[in-house]
Structure 1
Amino acid sequence: MRNSGVLVRRNAGYNRFGLVIARTLIELGWEATTAIEAVQAGTIPLGLNNSLT
């Protein structure tokens, strides 16, 4: 897969939004923890802010 950007807009719901993005990355072949870390490190600091433990 080539490097490409994706724009996703949200209206409300940081965790829901992060969950959808992480799940999409997993469906594209990413490992779950890598997808979660990518969402948390991205431009949505509150996305998926629940503890992994």
Structure 2
Amino acid sequence: MALPRRRGLTEQASGAAIDPACRLLRLPPIRHEFNDIADRAVKDQMT
């Protein structure tokens, strides 16, 4: 019996992944605004 895969990331893990990705893509403004963007996305999903 195969167990379903869990794909969700913790907030800390997603933040750790986003920072190097933004550096690699040279997107410093997005890196600094990520928390605000993520909070707005969560609020939009709740409405």
Comparing both chains, which one has the higher relative contact order based on Cα–Cα distances under 8 Å and sequence gaps of 6 or more?
Answer: 1
TM-score band, normalised by shorter chain: 0.3 to 0.5
Task: Give 1 or 2: higher helix fraction.
Answer: 2
Asked which structure has the greater CA Rg, the reply is 2
Q: With structure 2 as the length reference, what TM-score do the two structures score?
A: 0.46
